[in-house]
Structure 1
Amino acid sequence: MAELTEGYQRPSTPAFIEGHYVHAWNEGTLDEFKANNPDLYSSRGPTKGQLKINFQHCNKMIEVLENDPLVMKALAGQKEVIMTAELFGIPWKVMIDSYQPELGIFADLKALSEIGGRWWNNDLQCYENFLDYYGYVIQMAVYAEVERLASGRRVKKWLLPHMVIVTKQDPPDHAVIYFDYDAIETHLAKVAKHIERVKSVKSGEVEPTRCEKCEYCRETKKISSAIHYLDLIA
């Protein structure tokens, strides 16, 4: 909401730029991306003019993807396809990394820390895999429905979403994950269940809840009360 109403811009992070680096390769615009981002290169010392170490590692990640035939098959087709549709009473816009309607699939490319890790969900008080923790199944379900609506196909006739994962480990791990119709239907129902509050917050009718963890919340934080020390023990 700070971005929408106050013009707030999130600070760029190395992980974000690394993700863009890998996506630029998939788009076929990596050389242009390098030219437009001189900060990718070292500016001093014996490595001056060379790619920084983390982006050299991105090249390893790309090499792993290029050398796997199934990955390249999943990432074939049209690149960065933008689609719009009205869903749950509001307009949505998605950008599909690799689009192959003739094969009945589309794919999204992700660069992650690892595939098999577990992430703690404090609200649910349980560990989750990266798909649930980051909401990627919901993302794929929404992409599938927006694509279906934009393409004019009948109800529940979706393309099958795929995710191509490459990790930042050394050496990088990678996987191709697909989602079935049950996953799409179940997670669209989750969106429908929660979207009304999102709409109310976005329209300004309801105040957003601060997370007190992100850059914006830390920057604008005002303490209303002291914390008992036992509240920090978990």
Structure 2
Amino acid sequence: MKLTKSNYFSQEANRHYMSNSQFKSFLPSYGGCEAQAMAKINGEYEDPPNKAFEVGHYVHAWNEGTLDDFKANNPNLYASTGKTAGQPKTEFKHCNKMIEILESDPLVLKALAGRKEVIMTAELFGIPWKVMLDSYQPILGEDTGIFADLKTSKEMGGKFWNTEMGVYENFIHHYGYTIQMALYAEVERLVSGRENWLLPHMVIVTKQDPPDHEIIYFDYDVIEQSLHIVGKHIERVKAVKSGMVEPTRCDKCAYCRGTKKIKKIKHFSELSLY
């Protein structure tokens, strides 16, 4: 299947290719659920609208250079009633502050330079994968270069409880961004034919007022470790996606709550297990 920007996120593409987000959607450690993941792939479930995603899309459109088109094609960005009718909603007004912070920092603009929204596909762990690089600069010197991913975040210093590990972790680990950057690096390496990985960078801007922002990079050690994690789980994910194995329900996510059928009555003390 030939991928383009118009079909990259399509159901057909998601059936044919594995992606970073789809892989993690199968894993409970990243908030995933096998039953919900399969329902999405089969067209039986869609995530409800999420303002956080819309904010991310707004800032990404700026990076891609298509913000004017994005505004024109998304009338929901603007208030439709009251005194503010026709004006951007509060959260999207704040997006402009986030963009101003990024535009005012020369190192950010340098990190986000290059080709935009670059689609790549490669076979990895025995199946086809797809990635889309926000900004791609394969050559910044002799046999070097970077790619960068732009992220919007609530804040930079938040901490999240990892139930499986019993520890707090930062948002990079909580949302599996190390996994994402490792997969992108490996697919890019395979497509380019280079021997070594490009160093992944992440440009982060927060939704605080005023926004904070940072540039971080990921080294070869974390790429190798993260690919090992993918390799550890991929056979189970492949088996479930192919229909060879029945998906497990988490009974906690939106899909499972909406399709739940009680099979036994629980004693009140069992609630402590949740």
The bucket for the TM-score relative to the shorter chain is: over 0.9
User: Which of 101, 115, 118 lines up with 1:78 in the alignment?
Assistant: 115
- Indicate yes or no: 2:160 matched with 1:119: yes
Report how far residue 230 of structure 1 moved: 4.3
Distance change (3 Å), C-alpha of 1:163 and 1:188: same
Find the aligned partners of 1:26 and 1:38 in 2 and give their Cα distance.
20
1:218 maps to amino acid = R
Report how far residue 30 of structure 1 moved: 0.6
Aligned-pair identity (%): 70
Find the aligned partners of 1:72 and 1:8 in 2 and give their Cα distance.
38
Find the aligned partners of 1:228 and 1:120 in 2 and give their Cα distance.
27
Tell me the equivalent position of 1:152: 193
Report how far residue 231 of structure 1 moved: 4.5
User: Which of 226, 234, 245 lines up with 1:187 in the alignment?
Assistant: 226
Tell me the equivalent position of 1:18: 55
Tell me the equivalent position of 2:126: 89
Report how far residue 72 of structure 1 moved: 0.8
User: Which of 86, 89, 93 lines up with 1:56 in the alignment?
Assistant: 93
Encode CA deviations 1:67-110: one digit per residue, 9 max, x unaligned: 11111110010000000000010000000000000121000000
Structure 1 segments (4+ residues) deviating >3 Å? 225-234
User: What is the CA RMSD across the aligned residues, in angstroms?
Assistant: 1.4
Report how far residue 138 of structure 1 moved: 0.6
User: Which of 203, 210, 230 lines up with 1:164 in the alignment?
Assistant: 203
Length, aligned pairs only: 232
Give the TM-score of the pair, scaled to structure 1: 0.95
SS in 2 for 1:79: strand
Encode CA deviations 1:110-129: one digit per residue, 9 max, x unaligned: 00111111111122222111
Larger RCO (CA within 8 A; separation ≥ 6) = 2
- Structure 1: runs of 5+ lacking an equivalent: none
Find the aligned partners of 1:30 and 1:211 in 2 and give their Cα distance.
38
Find the aligned partners of 1:192 and 1:209 in 2 and give their Cα distance.
20
- Indicate yes or no: 2:190 matched with 1:173: no
Distance change (3 Å), C-alpha of 1:231 and 1:56: farther
1:178 maps to amino acid = Y
Distance change (3 Å), C-alpha of 1:204 and 1:172: same
Tell me the equivalent position of 2:24: none
- Structure 2: runs of 5+ lacking an equivalent: 1-37
User: Which of 258, 261, 264 lines up with 1:219 in the alignment?
Assistant: 258
Tell me the equivalent position of 2:16: none
SS in 1 for 2:263: coil
Report how far residue 171 of structure 1 moved: 1.1
User: Which of 118, 129, 132 lines up with 2:170 in the alignment?
Assistant: 129
Give the TM-score of the pair, scaled to structure 2: 0.81
